[in-house]
Chain A
Amino acid sequence: MNRWVVLRAVVAKSIIELRRYVFNTISGLVTMYVVFLLLFFGARSLGPAFSAGTGLEGLVVGYLVWMMSITAYQDLAHTIANEAEVGTLEQLFLTPTGFAWMGGSYMIGQFLVNLLFTAILLLSMMLTSGRWLHLDLVSLLPLILITIAASYGFGFILGGLALVFKRIQALFQILTFGLVGFVAAPIAQYAWMKLLPLALGNQLLKRVMVDGLRIWELPAGDLLLATGVGLSYLLIGVLIFGYCLRAARNRGMLGHY
């Protein structure tokens, strides 16, 4: 019961902040849309070799996965750094359900908001590109969760590092570009790359959104592997976060900024 109340409080606060920072919210959406336009028209100018087949649809899906992943991993780390700076971070630890649940609640809230933004952006992208994708929610939602679970793992890792090192913005830039590599990983040529975060999940999402397959029509082995990969990175993230939290408490630096 307590957990539900905490979740509700955290999600409600996220929504209030989105409304209060409405300019930031809208400008974030517009920026993502403009970047997509640049990518889309850039890709189309490469000629029929790229435009034909599923190249452009694949670009739309890949861009969506990349964008959701960036938002996912940056949210918690940004929040921790920001809360330390404004002076509220220590208050967030004074919750009977534990900080991990508070962080998890925050991520759930951000995931829901992220999903809403993705829907708006996807619709805009499909309208602009004229390429209509299959939007089977029953298949998409679990696949999105499986795929970006790894990004939430990175979020926990960076969040933990933010607790100890405070300023970690440089890592954001490295990871943001690193994620492009994961999304575009050639798993058809190198099977081991399926173990990379996002790679296999992105491939499965393409099969659903571009080829129109249902989740139960996907190869069971790939589905299990994608789930295992996503959860493994998430678990590693939570463990590293716990380690960093202990280190920060030992050094008495939770409230530092």
Chain B
Amino acid sequence: MLVDMEGAPVSREAPVLRIDGLSKVFPRRGKPPVRAVQDVGLELRAGEIVGLLGPNGAGKTTIIKCALGLIRPTAGDIAICDHDVHTRHGQAIQHASAVLEGARNVYWRLTARENIRFFTGLHGLDYRSNRAYCEGLLERFGLADRANEPLINLSTGMRQKVAVVSALAKRTQLVFLDEPTLGLDVETSLELRSILRELAAEGQRAIVVSSHDMDVIQDVCRRVIILKEGRVVADDTVESLLGLFRTRSYHLVLRDGPSPDLAGRLGAVATNLSLGRRGAQTELNFTLPSAEGLYTVIDIVRQAGAVIETIAQKEPDLEEAFLRVIRGGDAA
């Protein structure tokens, strides 16, 4: 069982993280101020693993750093386990840990064990009473065999894993992982994702993962928050977000070339229409406002004298959903 610093069991009812009306404006001398985050609100409970997605400059890192008290917000309230982050930082931060700059968050001249010992000590945890837990994490992350080597001798992936272990070893209810797989090779990234999924399945921590890598978020997170220009434009489960597009996007292959007016007639009922040739065949991609619209499309194609070879419902990935939300606000 995950416990807090006083050994009390973690409550699943109260939000572990509560952000309300968060805004951050960075003033700039002689230039207009940068509105990095605007009126963001969210809640996170134990057991949730949430992905923060957004293009560069969307405000992901600013939100995380405000939540950790590293940046002072211009407006809004942030509480971790009911402790205000800015007026009671010590109590709030007892319940939170973070990996902010990946492998740069650890000391390369120290060994993995020394790093873990230092960072848990900094958190007020006596290593002797926490040793079994730390050793378990080292084992789980495949670091046990090389835990006494200075990190400078280890690969980037292993250093990154040490950074994650150093954060997890603090046994906090809330963990922020900012770009945890950045710079990792495919194998290490998959390994780390697998461990994060396991940790999420344990259901005792709330984990916030910020990443540019959609696969990581889709693979690891159940809920995703999409940010655009400092605002939340979508906050839903990954499944719902994908479902929103899955029901409407189609890929259609015609045996022959299209009649001249087909595109025009389809354009009246479908959006995001694209039409291309592959050999003798014609490929159509389109999105419909409702599932029933497919019958109308089939009628239009039949009336145009074309023969349908295949119809497939497109399986959108998170990247596609993300791009649509960012560009058009479909899911907002």
**A residues within 8 Å of B by Cβ?**
1-3, 5-6, 8-10, 12-13, 16-17, 20-21, 86-88, 90-98, 102, 246, 249-252, 254-255
B106 and A88 form a contact (CB under 8 A): yes
Per the bound structure, the CA–CA distance linking A172 and B301 in Å amounts to 79
Bound form: Cα–Cα A5–B110 in Å: 19
Shortest Cβ gap from B81 to chain A (Å): 12
Number of interface residues of B (CB under 8 A): 40
A9-B122, A252-B65 known; 12 other A-B pairs, CB under 8 Å?
Answer: A5-B121, A12-B121, A17-B109, A17-B110, A92-B122, A93-B69, A94-B96, A95-B122, A95-B123, A96-B124, A250-B72, A255-B100
Given contacts A10-B122, A251-B26, contact A94 B106 (CB under 8 A): no
Closest CB in chain B relative to A113 CB, distance in Å: 17
Residue B68 at the A interface, CB < 8 A?
yes
CB of A81 to closest CB in B, whole Å: 15
User: Least Cβ distance of A241 to chain B in Å?
Assistant: 16
A94-B98 contact, Cβ under 8 Å, with A246-B72, A251-B26, A252-B62: yes
| Contact yes or no, A87 B101, CB < 8 A | yes
What are 27 contact pairs spanning A and B, CB under 8 A? A5-B124, A5-B126, A12-B121, A16-B114, A87-B105, A88-B105, A90-B105, A91-B100, A93-B69, A93-B70, A94-B70, A94-B97, A94-B122, A94-B123, A95-B122, A96-B123, A98-B89, A249-B71, A249-B72, A250-B71, A250-B72, A251-B26, A252-B26, A252-B71, A254-B65, A255-B70, A255-B101
**In the bound complex, what is the Cα–Cα distance between A21 and B150 (angstroms)?**
12
Chain A residues near B94 (CB-CB < 8 A): 96
A88 to B105, CA, bound (A): 5
A251 and B26 alpha carbons, distance in the complex (Å): 6
How many A-B pairs fall under 8 Å by CB?
Answer: 105
With beta carbons under 8 angstroms apart, the residue of A13, A91, A92 that contacts B110 is: A13
With A20-B109, A20-B150, A86-B104: A249-B70 Cβ-Cβ less than 8 Å: yes
| In the complex, residue of chain A having the shortest beta-carbon distance to the beta carbon of B98 | A94
Q: How far is the CA of A147 from the CA of B121 in the complex (A)?
A: 31
- B107 beta carbon closer than 8 Å to chain A: yes
Alpha-carbon gap, A193 to B106, bound state (A)? 45
Given contacts A88-B105, A91-B105, A93-B69, contact A12 B90 (CB under 8 A): no
Q: Assess the B91–A96 pair: CB atoms within 8 A.
A: yes
Contacts of B96 in A (CB 8 A): 94
* A78 → chain B closest CB, angstroms: 15
Q: Report the Cα distance A32→B31, complex, angstroms.
A: 49
The complex places the Cα of A255 from the Cα of B65 at a distance, in Å, of: 10
Residues of chain A within 8 A (CB-CB) of B101 are 87, 90, 255
A-B interface, 3 closest residue pairs, ranked by CB to CB distance from nearest: A9-B121, A87-B104, A2-B124
A36 to B66, CA, bound (A): 49
Using a CB-CB cutoff of 8 Å, which residues 107-135 of chain B contact chain A?
A: 107-110, 114, 117-126
Q: Which B-chain residue is minimally distant from A7 (CB atoms)?
A: B121
Decide: A6 and B121 in contact? CB cutoff 8 A.
yes
- Cβ of B231 under 8 Å from chain A: no
With A13-B114, A20-B150, A255-B101 known as contacts, the answer to whether A96 contacts B90 (CB < 8 A) is: yes
Within 8 Å CB of B69, what residues of A?
93, 249
Q: Report chain B residues within 8 Å CB of A249.
A: 69-72
B24 within 8 A of A: yes
In the bound complex, what is the Cα–Cα distance between A174 and B283 (angstroms)?
Answer: 73
B93 on the interface (CB 8 Å rule)? yes
- Once the chains bind, are A16 and B105 in contact (CB under 8 Å)? no
Q: How far is the CB of A257 from chain B (nearest CB, A)?
A: 10
Question: Does B117 contact A9, Cβ atoms closer than 8 Å?
Answer: yes
B307 CB within 8 Å of chain A? no
Contact call A12/B150, Cβ cutoff below 8 A: no
* Complex contact B124–A252 (CB within 8 A): no
Report chain B residues within 8 Å CB of A1: 124
B5 within 8 Å of A (CB atoms): yes
Most buried by A among B119, B121, B126: B121
**Cβ-neighbour of A21 out of B5, B106, B109, B120 (below 8 A):** B109
Within 8 A of A (CB), among B49-91: 62, 65, 68-72, 89-91
Contact of B68 among A13, A17, A94, A250 (CB under 8 A): A94
**Complex Cα spacing A255 to B99, Å:** 13
The interface residues of chain B lying within 8 Å CB-to-CB of A252 are 24, 26, 36, 62, 65, 70-71
User: CA of A249 to CA of B105 in the docked complex: distance in angstroms?
Assistant: 19
Instruction: Find the B residue at minimum CB distance from A91.
Output: B105
